[in-house]
Amino acid sequence: MVQDTLRLEGVRFGYRERLILDDVSLRVRPGRIVALVGGSGSGKTTLLRLIGGMIQPERGAVVFEGKPLASLDRDGLYAVRRRIGMLYQFGALFTDLSVFDNVAFPLREHTHLDETAIRDLVLLKLNAVGLRGVSHYRTAQLSGGMARRVALARAIALDPPLIMYDEPFAGLDPISLSTVAQLIRRLSETLGCASIVVSHDIKDTFAIADDVYLLARGRIAAEGTPAAMRVSTDPNVRQFLDGDIDGPVAFHHATRRTLAEDLEVSQ
């Protein structure tokens, strides 16, 4: 049986009294694209930070390739992170480095390859995202979509078994969006890596995902294949897919006082 690349078991996390995630369990297998969807503030990005060991869960476990992150020291955690690629929402490219040096960064930091080998690898990675021709550009010269693709080339530089994508489609024009989506699918197939795509873009995420988890109010509200989610009658799923203004996620933020009390109007 193939080992899960990543497993979350009953994870709970909060900031002081504010609970962000509660009893979240999921599994990601090699070669699969898992979509984590949910509204803004539902805890999706927090989940990615937990998986990367940037923050620790209050309860439950994050298990990467059979190793619980909580059992690892700093070196162990860094060894795990070297096996995880991460694409940030706006790329998070290093602005003082060129496109080439950005992609070369993880190779220079974590390998002892000579500059010729690094050059070849960087050009191959840039070629995989269709941007070999901009290797000499400064990052300020890139459009939003190009920056995202360069960041993707950097994320796959060390051929990680898990790649995480944080809102990869946010703010992109339709062509760039489709390009990034197809790249995620293609990389998953050619590298055989597991992928987690955090997004609230239903159409494009469902088009490339194998499994979908819907996060609502810090919990996994529903899970299944994209096809199963589309026909689900679960009120959380329906509200999210149909974009209903009111439902399990209320239009009005919770408040202790009524509107009449706030306006000091006698009833």
Partner 1 sequence: MSAGGLRGLRGLTDLIARVGYGARFFLRLCGLALVGLRRPRLIVDQIHFIGNHSLSIILVSGLLIGFVLGLQGYYTLRRYGSEEALGLLVTLSLVRELGPVVTALLFAGRAGTSLTAEVGLMKAGEQIDAMEMMAVDPVARVLAPRFAAALLCMPLLAALFSALGVLGGYVVGVEMIGVDAGAFWSQMQGGVDWLLDVGNGVLKSVVFGFTVAFVALYVGYHAEATPEGVSRATTSTVVVASLAVLGLDFILTALMFSSN
Alpha-carbon span 138 to 153, nearest angstrom: 15
Of 77 and 146, nearer to partner 1 (C-beta) is 77
Q: How far is the CB of 209 from partner 1 (least distance, A)?
A: 22
Q: How far is the CB of 16 from partner 1 (least distance, A)?
A: 15
Alpha-carbon span 136 to 100, nearest angstrom: 6
Q: How far is the CB of 170 from partner 1 (least distance, A)?
A: 13
Alpha-carbon span 13 to 68, nearest angstrom: 16
Please report, as a single letter, which amino acid is at residue 214: L
Nearest alpha-carbon partner for 131 in 179, 173, 171: 179
Q: Kind of pairing, strands 33-37 and 211-216?
A: parallel
Of 88 and 206, nearer to partner 1 (C-beta) is 88
Q: How far is the CB of 102 from partner 1 (least distance, A)?
A: 10
Of 65 and 223, nearer to partner 1 (C-beta) is 65
Q: How far is the CB of 86 from partner 1 (least distance, A)?
A: 5
Query: Helix crossing, 115-128 with 144-155: angle to 10°?
Result: 130
Of 110 and 219, nearer to partner 1 (C-beta) is 110
User: HSE of 105 in the Cβ direction (CA atoms, 13 Å)?
Assistant: 20
Sign of CA dihedral 183, 184, 189, 190: positive
Q: How far is the CB of 116 from partner 1 (least distance, A)?
A: 18
Calculated CA dihedral for residues 251, 257, 260, 261, nearest 10 degrees: -160
Of 68 and 78, nearer to partner 1 (C-beta) is 78
Of 31 and 106, nearer to partner 1 (C-beta) is 106
List interacting residues with partner 1 (CB under 8 A): 52, 54, 77-79, 81-82, 84, 86, 88-90, 92-96, 105-106, 109-110
Whether 158 contacts 107, CB under 8 Å: yes
